[in-house]
Chains A and B, each alone.
Chain A
Amino acid sequence: AQSVTQLGSHVSVSEGALVLLRCNYSSSVPPYLFWYVQYPNQGLQLLLKYTSAATLVKGINGFEAEFKKSETSFHLTKPSAHMSDAAEYFCAVSERQGGKLIFGQGTELSVKP
């Protein structure tokens, strides 16, 4: 069975600092991995996805994530946080193209001025 663990339900960074949101997955087959962002009072938006091509995936808004099979990780990073990045971030895994998405519990990112 697949699962996703997001380490830290809440992360706080200063504006301009590095953002690192952690995601570890469990999958018996090569996974498809996703990061979604949810701004207050809005639905989820896809930030980026890994589908077995390049291990470093670039997404929108300056975010990127690196697939590390040996660590079963897919951590999300952004070099310099902006106030507008404050939101909740969800990591998700699927066992195949179009397969059921299994979500992590989410990480709330706060950005301090």
Chain B
Amino acid sequence: ETGVTQTPRHLVMGMTNKKSLKCEQHLGHNAMYWYKQSAKKPLELMFVYNFKEQTENNSVPSRFSPECPNSSHLFLHLHTLQPEDSALYLCASSQDKTSGREFFGPGTRLTVL
């Protein structure tokens, strides 16, 4: 069983909705990541948190808002999304930002209508 869980696994939302994606890791790690995986495109790193502090925002639009209340939990708050935001959103964690080994969750398949 993976040490990184994500909920929900599937989400369909309208462009005016507000929803949140949740990620939880049970590995005692201190770094957490959000990636976007779109069809036929490489994975794109969105955000990095290290010891609860955001250390990287890869030019992500403000309609995506991350939150890391503690080292075990990471959220991605969504509002006024566009259809092109439909993708698989993957959460990952690592011991810390320098460990070089990331463990991935199963992802949330997001569809924006």
Contacts and interface: CB of A to CB of B under 8 A. Distances in A.
A6 B18 CA distance: 36
A101 B106 contact: no
A21 to B, nearest CB: 15
B97 A106 contact: no
A45 B41 contact: no
Nearest to A98: B98
Contacts of A4: 42
Nearest to A3: B42
A77 interface: no
B107 interface: yes
A105 B41 contact: yes
Contacts of B43: 44, 90, 92, 101, 103
Contacts of B9: 41
A23 to B, nearest CB: 12
Contacts of B104: 36, 43-45
Q: Number of contact residues on B: which range applies?
A: 20 to 34
Contact of A103 (B2, B42, B94, B99): B42
Which of B4, B96, B102 lies at the interface centre, i.e. has the most chain A CB atoms within 10 A of its CB?
B102
B107 A97 contact: no
A6 B85 CA distance: 24
B21 interface: no
Interface residues of A, number: 25
B110 interface: no
Given A43-B2, A45-B104, 18 more contacts: A32-B100, A41-B106, A43-B91, A43-B104, A43-B106, A43-B107, A46-B103, A49-B101, A51-B100, A90-B42, A90-B43, A92-B43, A97-B100, A98-B94, A98-B98, A98-B100, A100-B45, A101-B45
Interface of B: 2, 4, 6, 9, 40-43, 45, 48, 56, 90-92, 94, 96-107
17 contacts: A4-B42, A36-B104, A42-B106, A43-B4, A43-B92, A44-B92, A45-B104, A46-B103, A49-B100, A90-B42, A98-B97, A98-B98, A98-B100, A99-B100, A103-B42, A105-B40, A105-B41
